[in-house]
């Protein structure tokens, strides 16, 4: 998905081919996922990347900073 993600982002004009190249270089030297490196370098913000990935996977994006999670669900997760 790494190479494909970059190609898709370029195709959708969210980043340039040069930005993709630099992010891949950063990924090779520092590690981490491509999306993280694109965000770290300031080429795409996390919100736009999340929305893009949401559309690609057909799964709604959820902003955990503004979403209230049922305490019972949290309890179940912590118990397992």
* The model's pTM: 0.73
Token pair 């080429």 is found at 43
Find the angle CA(46)-CA(52)-CA(33) to the nearest 5 degrees: 55
Q: What is the pLDDT along the chain (80 residues), one digit of tens a residue?
A: 445 899 999 999 999 999 999 999 999 999 999 999 999 999 999 999 999 999 989 999 988 889 999 999 999 999 87
Query: Could you identify the residue written with the tokens 């370029």?
Result: 10
In this prediction, residue 79 carries a pLDDT of: 86
């Amino acid at each position: 998905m790494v190479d494909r993600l970059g190609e898709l982002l370029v195709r959708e004009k969210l980043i340039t081919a040069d930005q993709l190249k630099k992010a891949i270089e950063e990924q090779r030297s520092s590690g981490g996922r491509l999306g993280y490196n694109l965000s770290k370098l300031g080429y795409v913000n996390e919100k736009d990347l999340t929305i893009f990935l949401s559309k690609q996977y057909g799964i709604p994006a959820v902003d955990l900073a503004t979403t209230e999670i049922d305490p019972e669900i949290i309890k179940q997760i912590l118990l397992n």
